[in-house]
Structure 1
Amino acid sequence: MESVTNWIERKLGLKVNVTKSKITGPRNLKYLGFGFWKDGKANQWRARPHQDSIKRFKEKLRKLTQRKWSISFTERLEKLNQVIRGWVNYFLIGSMKGALTEIDSRLRTRLRMIIWKMWKVSSKRQWGLQKLGISKDLARLTSYCGDRYYFVATKTCVSRAISKDILTQRGLISPLDYYEHRCNVRFN
């Protein structure tokens, strides 16, 4: 490493930061937020968002979907859409369908929990579920499940009532759908 550093500084006239610079294989490399993996079929190296970048993206979405943050749902969706568009557009050259599938479902679950908390009382919850097409009896039964937000958002009729289509109509951009759309536009 020492001789390479000397050569770069002497011949090219560049300053090398030895704490950040290293010689490594592509699997261990993190460059501008990207990691690399070898595609067995094509026998090529491909880029994808590094695990640290995915972790930071999830953390940012988690902060924007905190239940205790009192902000209108429309404003929340606008902020989420800005973050989603920016992140997907930056990492568009990478392969990230698997990661975005998980992030997409987690995001919708967190938004369902927010809506459930916004409805607050059982009568409002029953009214909201009925308005979204759930039968009166099932809506009443679900509305008295209490404040077990994750359970209600995943295991009851709330996931069927507040579906992906409903959230899309409200203005949410699905990270996975946006990525697939951008890939189709880019390659066509």
Structure 2
Amino acid sequence: MENDGKVRSRPHKTAKQKFRKRLRHLTSRKRPGTFLDIVKEINQYTHGWINYYGIGDMKNFIRETAQWLKHRLRQLIWKRWKRVSTRFYRLMRYGIDREEAWKVANSRKGYWRMSKNQTIHRAINNKRLASWGLKDLNQLYQHRYLSY
């Protein structure tokens, strides 16, 4: 990484670990509440954390955490669609064709593994997560970092 002759700071490893641990708690599969409430709490926490540590140089950490967070949210959604019929109809509603939706909905693979599935990524894409209120961590960080 080039410094361009400037001194840069970054959050300590423990601060990053606490951030990920809190996000893990907020996206727990057994967590009660509506999905919109969960997204609201995630937005509040991430916005505050990035505002506090935004002066730090942590572009890669934010990018990796944003990908991981979206993966966790897809896992949470897939778990909440418990029944095969619910999964099937939701996938159909989000633009997946009938045969492919049926195959994915009937899968017996675990939640984490299924949240990596390309069909689920097309159904629950980043645009849809944003429409449900999830703020993009990369944009929040870029906005905060560039303002210093």
Q: Would the aligned equivalents of 1:142 and 1:156 in 2 still touch at CA under 8 Å? A: no
Q: Within the alignment, does 1:75 sit opposite 2:7 as a pair?
A: no
CA RMSD of aligned residues (A): 1.4
Matched with 2:94 is 132
Aligned length: 148
Matched with 1:35 is none
Matched with 1:155 is 117
Output one character per residue of 1:127-149: Cα deviation in whole Å (capped at 9) or x when no partner.
11111111111111000113511
Matched with 1:31 is none
Q: 1: CA distance between counterparts of 2:14 and 2:23? A: 14
Q: Within the alignment, does 1:118 sit opposite 2:54 as a pair?
A: no
Output one character per residue of 1:130-175: Cα deviation in whole Å (capped at 9) or x when no partner.
1111111111100011351111101341112111110000001121
Q: Give the partner amino acid of 2:115.
A: A
Greater Cα radius of gyration, structure 1 or 2: 1
Identity fraction in percent: 32
Q: 1: CA distance between counterparts of 2:144 and 2:92? A: 36
TM-score (ref. length: structure 1): 0.74
- Please state whether the residue corresponding to 2:55 is helix, strand or coil: coil
Answer 1 or 2: which has greater strand percent: 1
Structure 1 residues 40 and 115: alpha-carbon distance in aligned structure 2, compared to 1, 3 A threshold: closer
Stretches of structure 2 lacking an aligned partner (at least 5 in a row): none
Alignment counterpart, residue 88 of structure 1, candidates 16, 38, 50: 50
Answer 1 or 2: which has greater helix percent: 2
Q: 2: CA distance between counterparts of 1:150 and 1:94? A: 31
Output one character per residue of 1:38-94: Cα deviation in whole Å (capped at 9) or x when no partner.
x64423331011111111100000000000112111110111001000000001111
Q: Give the partner amino acid of 1:163.
A: N
- Please state whether the residue corresponding to 1:104 is helix, strand or coil: helix
- Larger relative contact order, structure 1 or 2 (CA cutoff 8 Å, min sep 6): 2
TM-score (ref. length: structure 2): 0.93
Alignment counterpart, residue 61 of structure 1, candidates 14, 23, 38: 23
Structure 1 residues 174 and 40: alpha-carbon distance in aligned structure 2, compared to 1, 3 A threshold: closer
Stretches of structure 1 lacking an aligned partner (at least 5 in a row): 1-38
Matches within 5 A, 1:25-36: none
Q: 2: CA distance between counterparts of 1:146 and 1:72? A: 25
